[in-house]
Each structure stands twice: as structure tokens, then as C-alpha cells.
Structure 1
Amino acid sequence: MTVVGLREWVALPGLGVAGLRAKIDTGASTSSLHATDIEPFERDGEKWVRFTAHLGTVVQLRHRRCEAPLVTRKTIKSSNGHAQVRYVISTTLALGDRVWPVEFTLACRKSMRYRLLLGSKALIDGQLVVNPGIKYVQDKPVFPVSTSSTGVA
């Protein structure tokens, strides 16, 4: 098991995204990525979703147009009790020296401090243990930003 803090640097190599700050949230079961302009479409008879991933902070705004196969649509209840239907994608997540597939709901998180929330299911799948007293203890994963089949420049 790898120990992580409440905040960590992550990358999404399958989407060509690196240098993203994530909030580790053991109280949330699902993971979430800040996305707008979400459009479902079909490719070769399969359901896909196209979206703009917002990766920046207040200091540096960045965004990237992405495409990913659609896993499902899921109703998520927020901490304030509001229910919302969201698209779910699966892509690789890199945290420290670990890389594994994680399902993310796509949601507008512009009012949130962190553009990516890593939920408990991803923590279990990645065999991670959270120490709430520390943050940014894992090395920042570095992956070249590319235009793969799921990342669009």
C-alpha cells in the first residue's frame, strides 16, 4: 500500500493531461473531473463523450478538449443533497509511481478549489492509504502531453 496525503499531484495520461492538483476525498465514493461543453456522440457504433477538461488554477487557467468512451450515466448526490445525472468515463490515472484505470464523473467544478476529486473506489483500486495530516507527499507524475485517441489538442 502507498501512503498519500489529502492533496496530491496527478496526471491523466490517457487524456494527455499532466500537472493536475487533486483532492483526495475518502467521503466520496466516485471520482470527478471538472468538465464543460459535454457532448455525447457515436464512433464506430460505440457511445463516446467529448468535453473540455479544465485543469488550471486561479493563477494559471488551462483547458483541453478531450474525447473518451462513455462508460455509463450515473446519478450522483452531492454533499448538499442535490442529485445530478453525470456522464462517466474511464481513463488512466497516475499518482506517484502508480498508474491504474479510474472511472470519473464529468461535472462542473468551477466553484471548487480542486479540478479533480479522487474518491474512495479509486483509492481502493490503486491500493492507496490516506494520511489526513500530510499533503503532496508523492512525486509529481510526469507524462508527455500527447494527442492520443482520447486527448484532442
Structure 2
Amino acid sequence: MLPVVGWREMVDLPELGLARIPAKIDTGARTSSLHGQVIDEFARNGEKYVRFAVDWDGERHECEAVHVDIRGVTSSNGETQRRYVIKTPLTIGEVRFRAEISLADRSDMKFPMLVGRSSLRRRFVVDSGYSWLQSRGMEAVKGHRP
């Protein structure tokens, strides 16, 4: 049986040094996205990397990740943007896997991260009536199912 996630969860991006990021679970979005501003593109050991800044939790975190692609991604307002896509481990609850994540300006959004259906597929079932089902320490939040 697959673990159940709510419509919002705390997630970790361990190789980026980011923990307990509030994320919206969005089955309408194909690709996951993270609020990040690209600083630099470079090569290391023959692989393409991207250096980017994540402004979250009152701090600026500089991160580096393997740069997989630059893709046209259609945002929720119907606008297509060219975005860097990285591949990095993502942890939701006890499940850890490598996810493709686009870097986007999410400064106007409530959540710094969005987890799309490509990351959810065959790993989780979504119950949109609840929140924080895989997020330890969030049990007291309204809408949490024990």
C-alpha cells in the first residue's frame, strides 16, 4: 500500500542542505518546482551544474545541483517560461527518491516548493482533504488526520 500525503507537506532536499520546506502537493502540475534564483552555470567532472539561491525561512541558501535541462514550463497562469531543471534527492516522510525539479520565481506563491505528479506517481496517494500526513511535528495543525 502506498503512503498517503495531504495537500501540503514538509519535504527535505538533503543534498541541497534544505530541510522542512513547506510544499504544496499539486497533481495538476507535471513537474515539481522550487523557489530559486539561478546565479551561475558551470561544469564539474564533465557534468553540467547550476548554482542557485533559495530565499526561504528568512535565510538565503546557496545551492549547487546537477543541471539536467532547460525546459519550457507552463505556469499556472498559462505563461510558458524557460526554466532550469535539476535532479536531486527529495524526501517526503520516510520515502526518499531522485526528483526532477524546475527552478522558478515562486516569491508570489504561498509555498516555496510545489511537488508535481511526476514525483508522486507510483510513490504516494494524495488525500486533498488533509494536510501534513507525512510531516512529523505537524500533528497539531488543523486538518491533520491522525
Q: TM-score, normalised by structure 2?
A: 0.88
Which of the residues 79, 82, 106 maps onto 2:79?
A: 82
Query: Which amino acid is 1:31 matched to?
Result: S
Q: String of CA shifts for 1:72-114, please: whole Å, max 9, x gaps.
A: 1110011211111000001111111111111100011000010
Query: Which amino acid is 1:52 matched to?
Result: A
User: Which protein, 1 or 2, shows the higher relative CO under an 8 Å CA cutoff with sep ≥ 6?
Assistant: 1
User: Could you tell me how far apart the structure 1 residues matched to 2:42 and 2:59 are?
Assistant: 24
1:151 alignment partner in structure 2 = none
Match of 1:137, SS?
coil
Aligned length: 136
RMSD of aligned Cα (Å): 1.4
Offset of 1:139 from its aligned partner? 3.2
User: Could you tell me how far apart the structure 2 residues matched to 1:3 and 1:89 are?
Assistant: 25
User: Could you tell me how far apart the structure 1 residues matched to 2:109 and 2:136 are?
Assistant: 21
User: Could you tell me how far apart the structure 2 residues matched to 1:12 and 1:47 are?
Assistant: 19
Match of 2:119, SS?
helix
Q: What is the identity percentage for the equivalent residue pairs of Structure 1 and Structure 2?
A: 44
2:134 alignment partner in structure 1 = 138
User: Could you tell me how far apart the structure 1 residues matched to 2:39 and 2:26 are?
Assistant: 24
Q: TM-score, normalised by structure 1?
A: 0.84
Runs of 4+ residues deviating >6 angstroms = none
> Structure 2: where are the runs of 5+ without partners?
138-146
> Contact conserved, 2:50 with 2:67, CA < 8 A, in 1?
yes
User: Could you tell me how far apart the structure 2 residues matched to 1:12 and 1:67 are?
Assistant: 12
> Contact conserved, 2:38 with 2:50, CA < 8 A, in 1?
no
Matches within 5 A, 1:9-88: 9-56=10-57, 61-88=58-85
